[in-house]
């Protein structure tokens, strides 16, 4: 009992009752935060029940990093499914939680609450302000480390930077007028970090972080063995036979991955001449020994339906798997030493050793398996191989391989129909990273290739690629992607039981998605019900229907669903965070949005102008909508609001800038002719912008 009382004294209340706060201060409250000094009145029982009311508490000052969106998902899964108890917050009587509503509100920022992001325009003379308050360079992580080290050497205490990870108390009286209602609903605003990749300057989807759940680890997948573990598959994953033509790379995909494009991709004479100039500049034209397969147009590869066998995944195409081995020649160039090609049936179509034109300085035997003794008697040249390939490859041929751009560069040949396993089996952390063929084979085929120290076998590698492509065609587009190794949060909740009682199939937890447009085609496809909306007002009404039930919508269970995810979007559109508005009637259509005047960029196609409301007005309207949602919730409802990300606009601007630079750089434009230059200055700016964009905020309470 003493231990229990001690724990209660060290816990700081995060949630308070929906009733007005009391002005009475309890004894021994000198070490407590404001929420303990203003205890809530006793909650009313629901329908006369004797209810142990759920509550949220946290230990003050213990967080050493910001909570993440995945932590919010973990809180949901602990209350309603098989999740483990979170370490960053404590939940009392979680089994008595009746509903959970998670609301995403892009456009809210934590700076609105601490004064660093004013809601009203500042009446300040800019030049005078800059002269009085010159801009202070942002402190880098390295500078902070050096400063900490100097303070440590002098015996001084280190700066308390951990406080920025802990929630900030919300005092309605000290908040800007538009935000005061939030201070009455929620006791704190929490820093919530969005998912991303600091190394590659990427911000990941805040929707997936909540609505996709990692598959539970099985006993079979445990262990600490080397290499890739076998692929985990959602029990609800449904294989879908898919023709190989679905996986053919587009011109944009090929360009992005440094392929030399075939002339068939270009229709007008002007485009062809422009591409020819680019190839000549890169020394990849005919005069440099390059050849193009005889494919006049992309349409020439199409096969009439009458010639396609029903259910065939090859779609009437001739599929050939290619793998090459290379060596290093004088000048440090990589040249072809072996080419292997196998057909769809796995039979060898071509396997030849090739004599490079220049003297070899490194046979790369440890990788290629090629030795001097093997190549000494060979007389076959690259030109001989090119002639044979031009007879083998027709408009109906599809070349498959792994990172095939390097093989085709060594062969000095282009072909328009490419399926690259490095693309169709994307790296878990996204581009520009690529999985190795050895890793993919271990994970998806449960096979070992490239064993030993004698080098690769190009025929073995070509067959492994072929098996991966066949598996992809049998399983479908989602196979081998993050979507296949995760499951919908709604599916996971559907397996859970209510109040610890066993349920019959189909009687688990229910869920809803309430969003603009037609959510049925996205994350809402796995939910019990999805409600499409035209604006935020529709979202507010949709949440009330989903939570309480709606006789006019038979898809909603009686008494409403257990979990609801929804999104308010007016604020992000007002701030220019969103570039397109979904069409509520057509899931495949959206309308371009023009950013506010000071942020307008050239656009094409139909567009509408975002509202000219001030930031304060937009925030006030959004906060009013949040209040309406809160008031509509039944008792014992966990209500979580999160922004998703911070301001993403600078990240988008710099990423577009980098994309333009890569296009021109890959086209071999001289440095002084580049319209965009990318240096370490821009790289560091992108890194800082990504860090800021991942700094979101959140609120939580139990109604």
User: % helix / strand / coil in the chain, to the nearest 5?
Assistant: 35, 20, 45
* 353 pLDDT tier (thresholds 50, 70, 90): very high
CA 423, CA 431: separation in Å to the nearest integer?
9
Tens of pLDDT, residues 328-351: 888 778 899 999 999 999 999 999
Q: Tell me if 192 sits within 8 A of 72, measured CB to CB.
A: yes
Q: Tell me if 529 sits within 8 A of 556, measured CB to CB.
A: yes
Quick one: how far is CA 73 from the chain centroid? Answer: 16
Does 673 or 372 have the greater pLDDT score? 372
- Measured between its terminal Cα atoms, the distance across the chain in Å is 28
pLDDT value for 674: 85
Does 107 or 258 have the greater pLDDT score? 107
Tens of pLDDT, residues 52-91: 889 898 777 678 888 999 999 999 999 999 889 999 999 8
The helix or strand, by DSSP H or E, that contains position 8, with its residue range, turns out to be: helix 2-10
What is the widest separation between alpha-carbon atoms in the chain?
97
The helix or strand, by DSSP H or E, that contains position 131, with its residue range, turns out to be: helix 126-132
CA 424, CA 94: separation in Å to the nearest integer?
42
What mean pLDDT value characterizes the chain? 81
CA 674, CA 664: separation in Å to the nearest integer?
7
Tens of pLDDT, residues 123-169: 434 444 444 444 444 455 556 556 666 666 666 655 555 567 889 99
State which of 31-40, 67-76, 113-122 shows the largest mean pLDDT: 67-76
pLDDT(11) > 80: no
Q: Tell me if 595 sits within 8 A of 573, measured CB to CB.
A: no
Instruction: Indicate the domain borders of the chain.
Output: 111-121+143-196+204-214+487-702, 244-259+313-478
DSSP summary character for residue 248: P
Give the 3-state DSSP-derived string for 16-70, with helices as H, strands as E and coil as C: CCCCCCCCCCCCCCCCCCHHHHCCCCCCCCCCCCCCCCCEEEEECCCCCCCEEHH
Average pLDDT over every residue of 412-437: 88
The helix or strand, by DSSP H or E, that contains position 548, with its residue range, turns out to be: helix 536-548
CA 385, CA 374: separation in Å to the nearest integer?
17
Question: Coil, helix or strand for 584?
Answer: coil
Q: Under 8 Å CB-to-CB from 454, ≥6 apart: which residues?
A: 365, 369
Quick one: how far is CA 557 from the chain centroid? Answer: 32
Nearest to 642 by CA among 107, 221, 80: 107
pLDDT(240) > 50: yes
DSSP summary character for residue 361: E
Average pLDDT over every residue of 222-231: 54
Tens of pLDDT, residues 264-295: 999 999 989 989 988 998 889 999 999 999 99
pLDDT(452) > 90: no
Q: Tell me if 693 sits within 8 A of 651, measured CB to CB.
A: yes
Structure tokens at 326: 């290379």
CA 600, CA 593: separation in Å to the nearest integer?
10
Does domain 244-259+313-478 fall under CATH 3.40.50.1100? My reply is no
Phi first, then psi, for residue 118 (nearest 5°) are -65, 145
Does 263 or 212 have the greater pLDDT score? 263
Phi first, then psi, for residue 49 (nearest 5°) are -75, 155
Q: Omega before 432 cis (within 30°)?
A: yes
């Amino acid at each position: 009992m003493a231990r229990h009382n001690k724990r209660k004294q060290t816990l700081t209340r995060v949630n308070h009752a929906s009733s007005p706060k009391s002005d009475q201060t309890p004894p021994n409250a000198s070490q407590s935060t404001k929420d303990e000094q203003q205890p809530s009145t006793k909650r009313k029982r629901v329908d006369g029940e004797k209810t142990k009311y759920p509550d949220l508490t946290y230990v003050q000052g213990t967080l050493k990093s910001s909570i993440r969106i995945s932590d919010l998902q973990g809180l949901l899964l602990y209350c309603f499914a098989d999740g483990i108890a979170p370490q960053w917050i404590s939940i009392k009587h979680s089994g008595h939680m009746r509903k959970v509503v998670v609301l995403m509100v892009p456009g809210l920022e934590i700076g609105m609450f601490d004064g660093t992001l004013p809601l009203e325009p500042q009446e300040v003379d800019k030049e005078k302000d800059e002269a009085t308050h010159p801009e202070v360079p942002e402190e880098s992580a390295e500078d902070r480390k050096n400063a900490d080290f100097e303070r440590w050497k002098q015996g001084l205490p280190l700066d308390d930077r951990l406080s920025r990870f802990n929630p900030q108390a919300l005092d309605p009286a000290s908040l800007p007028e538009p935000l005061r209602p939030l201070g009455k609903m929620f006791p704190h605003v929490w820093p919530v970090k969005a998912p991303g990749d600091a190394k590659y300057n990427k911000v990941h989807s805040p929707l997936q972080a909540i609505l996709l759940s990692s598959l539970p680890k099985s006993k079979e997948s445990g262990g600490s063995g080397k290499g890739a573990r076998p692929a985990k598959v959602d029990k609800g994953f449904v294989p879908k036979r898919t023709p190989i033509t679905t996986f053919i790379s587009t011109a944009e995909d090929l360009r992005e991955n440094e392929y030399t494009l075939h002339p068939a991709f270009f229709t007008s004479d002007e485009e062809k001449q422009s591409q020819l100039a680019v190839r000549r500049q890169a020394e990849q034209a005919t005069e440099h020994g390059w050849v193009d397969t005889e494919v006049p147009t992309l349409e020439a590869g199409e096969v009439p339906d009458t010639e396609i066998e029903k259910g065939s995944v090859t779609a009437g195409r001739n599929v050939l798997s290619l793998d090459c081995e290379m060596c290093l020649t004088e000048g440090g160039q990589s040249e072809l030493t072996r080419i292997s090609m196998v057909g769809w049936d796995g039979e060898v179509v071509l396997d030849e050793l090739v004599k490079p034109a220049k003297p070899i300085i490194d046979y790369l035997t440890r990788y290629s398996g090629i030795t001097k003794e093997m190549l000494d008697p060979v007389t076959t040249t690259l030109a001989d191989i090119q002639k044979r390939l031009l007879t083998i490859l027709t408009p109906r041929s599809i070349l498959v391989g792994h990172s095939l751009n390097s093989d085709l560069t060594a062969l000095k040949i282009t072909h328009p129909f490419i399926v690259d396993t490095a693309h169709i089996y994307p790296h878990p952390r996204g581009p520009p990273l690529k999985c190795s063929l050895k890793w993919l084979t271990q994970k998806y085929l449960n096979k070992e290739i490239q064993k030993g120290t004698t080098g690769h076998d190009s025929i073995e590698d070509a067959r492994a690629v072929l098996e991966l492509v066949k598996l992809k065609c049998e399983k479908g587009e989602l196979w081998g992607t993050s979507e296949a190794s995760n499951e919908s949060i709604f599916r996971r909740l559907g397996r859970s039981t209510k109040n610890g009682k066993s349920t019959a199939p189909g009687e688990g937890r229910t869920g809803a998605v309430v969003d603009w447009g037609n959510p049925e085609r996205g994350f809402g496809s796995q939910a019990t019900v999805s409600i499409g909306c035209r604006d935020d007002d529709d979202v507010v009404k949709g949440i009330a229907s989903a939570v309480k039930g709606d006789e006019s919508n038979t898809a909603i269970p009686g008494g409403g669903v257990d979990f609801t995810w929804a999104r308010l979007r007016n604020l992000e559109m007002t701030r220019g965070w969103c570039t397109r508005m979904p069409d509520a009637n057509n899931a495949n259509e959206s309308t371009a949005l023009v950013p506010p005047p000071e942020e307008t960029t050239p656009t094409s196609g139909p567009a509408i102008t975002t509202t000219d409301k001030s930031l304060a007005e937009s925030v006030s309207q959004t906060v009013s909508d949040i209040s309406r949602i809160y008031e509509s919730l039944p008792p014992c409802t966990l209500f979580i609001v999160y922004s998703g990300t911070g301001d993403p606009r600078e990240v988008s601007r710099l990423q577009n800038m980098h994309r333009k630079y890569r296009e021109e750089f890959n086209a071999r434009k001289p440095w002084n002719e580049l319209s965009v230059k990318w240096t370490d200055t821009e790289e560091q700016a992108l890194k800082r912008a990504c860090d800021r964009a991942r700094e979101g905020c959140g609120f939580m309470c139990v109604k």
